[in-house]
Amino acid sequence: MKYLHEIVWYLSLPLTIVISYYAVLFGLKKFNQLHEKEEETE
């Protein structure tokens, strides 16, 4: 139990990277959808 905090901390770092990667992909998809709708209206 002594090193539980450190183990959880080191496991959370890759998880944070993966979550931020998918958040960026989601944001880019939404941006592209909005951009395509804007080009259609022009």
pLDDT at 35: 87
pLDDT, tens digit (0-9, with 9 covering 90-100), for 1-42: 889 999 998 989 999 999 999 999 999 999 999 988 877 776
Dist. CA 19–CA 8, nearest whole Å: 16
Q: What is the pLDDT of residue 1?
A: 80
Stated pTM of the model: 0.67
Sign of CA dihedral 16, 18, 19, 24: positive
3-class DSSP assignment, residue 2: coil
